[in-house]
Amino acid sequence: MTSREASCSCGQLRVTCRGEPALVALCHCSACQKRTGSAFGVAAFFARETVLVSGSYADYDRPADSGYRVLHHFCQSCGSTVFWEPSRKPEMVAVAVGAFADPQFPAPQKAVFAERRQPWATVTLDP
């Protein structure tokens, strides 16, 4: 079975995920733009029972643009957001795709909140 490890910038907070992600999604919402400091966020959703977290982290709970709450977990040392728990999908854990630092990681299958997309940020998803 495939196993992948994501980590924060300093390496103190690590998330090991077994198996393939159930979904990889690109989000254009304003909250993801602020969280990442970029034009979008990309998340890999894994079944909760396949995710193992090691290291210490702090939490930030916020309402999502969908109206549900999202509990973000970030490294207390470097501040990187590594994973989060969407209340809309309590059986899943979302992991920041960039935290895997793997150019072979599966591409996003869908994009959400396209109405908030930065006009210059064009991403083509395979059908």
C-alpha 67/C-alpha 75 separation (Å) is 25
Count CB atoms within 10 A of the CB of residue 105. 16
Per cent of the chain over pLDDT 70 is 89
* Unique residue bearing structure tokens 């198996």: 19
Which has the minimum average pLDDT: 21-35, 80-94, 95-109, 111-125? 111-125
C-alpha 96/C-alpha 119 separation (Å) is 23
C-alpha 16/C-alpha 18 separation (Å) is 7
What is the end-to-end Cα distance of the chain in Å, rounded? 26
Rg (CA), the chain: 14
pLDDT surpassing 80 at residue 23: yes
Domains belonging to the chain, first-starting first, are 3-114 (2.170.150.70)
